[in-house]
Amino acid sequence: MGIRAMLRAAVLLLLIRTWLAEGNNTTSIPEYVFELSPTMPAVIHNVFNCKNCANETVVGKILDRVLSGYDARLRPYFGGDPLPVGISMYVSNIDHISEVTMDSKVTMFFLQTWKDPRLAYCETNLNLTLDYRMADKLWVPDCYFLNSKDTPVHDMSVENRMFQLHPDGTVHYGMRLTTTASCSMDLQKYPLDKQTCKLEVESYGYTVEDIMLYWEGDENAIQGTEKIENPQFTLLGKKVTRNEEVFYTGSYVRLVLKFMIQRKIIHYLVQVYWPTIIVTISSWVTFWMNYESSVARMTIGLTSMFILHTINSHLREKLPEFSCIKAIDIYMVVCFIFVFLSLLEYVYINYLLYSRRESSRCYRLCRRARKIMDQYRYQLEPELQRGPGWRGSNDPTCEAPNMATERLKYCLVDLDLGFLEGL
């Protein structure tokens, strides 16, 4: 009994253990190692064993295969659904935003992405990067910048274009270019203004039935704008939109990128505002000057006018010739008016004091004349006592006082100071 029971229990335990081991132990399954025989063809060998190690022979074969019979004139899915083409940009610089020519220069890496099933390959799962020489062998979208004046693709040291092929036929086509995009500005608040500059991308020939442009990654389609440093402007933000435009030949998708920028005021503070404020205030120095120092007063007034004019004409050079009245114009006119009024003040004061100054001059002359008369009084006394009859006298000693009296009378009539001093 005891031995039987023990045997039964042992068998039961063994069964449970086996069941447990089979039910929940994956590592006990022996690994199946796939050994390749060296006689297999190279392509199949690659598919299984060399997914990530395509050498030039393999890649050369891939390119030969996909490009043989490839017609670069026809878009992918020709005659079928429209091809979605994703657009994205890496903006490396926005510079030379000019008010005179109303444009801005944007340097960027312009990337277009689409899928071309004719270029799919399965020999390797590596992405293939190809250079500018592929540009005329493959079909590429005909995107252009609607509002650009000039868009050269950089060619240092070779043309800056690249293709990246993915195994599923996705193509990334990137190029580095600088576009001079026109940017109409409203200068009414200049230089305290904010501007919006646009960059519009559109397919040149393919309508919505052939190509659907879209921003790749929507808001993330534009990268690199955080690092942009522009001495003239601060970048406030960017915005991407997509709309459809209808022309005679059909409707086209237009992608619009907007840059909101604000002018930096510090440059104008240093070059325009402070100098003009100081010049205007220094023209008021004349109020504390003697009204008789006309040379100094006129010099200060006219020099201030001249400096303001110089600053104003320097300012004009940076602006388009025909434009509206700007905030800075009003500011400069106010400065001019202040300086001009300080000049007018001098003229007015001069006019007011003119008569008083004349009378004071007479007063001074009369006083001097009286002094001289007092000086000569002792000589005149006897003469005056003698009366008018003495003129007929033959006394030679009377000659001198007689002449002095005549002269004095004459000068008192004329109030001529120079003559008096000659006495």
Interface with ligand NAG (CB under 6 A): 21, 23-25, 27-28, 42, 45-46, 50, 55, 57-58, 125-127, 166
Q: Give CA angle at 286 (280, 287), nearest 5°.
A: 100
Task: Report the nearest approach of ligand NAG to the CB of residue 4 (Å).
Answer: 30
Comparison of 224 and 250: residue with beta carbon closer to ligand NAG: 224
Q: Which two tokens stand for residue 77?
A: 């899915």
Torsion of CA 148, 185, 240, 249, to 10 degrees: -50
Task: Report the nearest approach of ligand NAG to the CB of residue 116 (Å).
Answer: 15
Comparison of 171 and 222: residue with beta carbon closer to ligand NAG: 171
Task: Report the nearest approach of ligand NAG to the CB of residue 120 (Å).
Answer: 13
Strand order in the sheet with 143-145: 143-145, 194-203, 250-263, 233-247
Comparison of 52 and 397: residue with beta carbon closer to ligand NAG: 52
| 220 contact partners, CB below 8 Å, separation of at least 6 | 88
Task: Report the nearest approach of ligand NAG to the CB of residue 170 (Å).
Answer: 8
Task: Report the nearest approach of ligand NAG to the CB of residue 160 (Å).
Answer: 20
136 CB-contact burial (10 Å; exposed 0-12 / middle 13-18 / buried 19+): exposed
Torsion of CA 328, 331, 335, 337, to 10 degrees: 120
State which amino acid sits at residue 419. Answer: F
Comparison of 51 and 370: residue with beta carbon closer to ligand NAG: 51
Comparison of 47 and 349: residue with beta carbon closer to ligand NAG: 47
Give the distance from CA 315 to its chain's centroid: 16
Task: Report the nearest approach of ligand NAG to the CB of residue 218 (Å).
Answer: 18
Residues 238, 222 contacting (CB under 8 angstroms): yes
Comparison of 51 and 267: residue with beta carbon closer to ligand NAG: 51
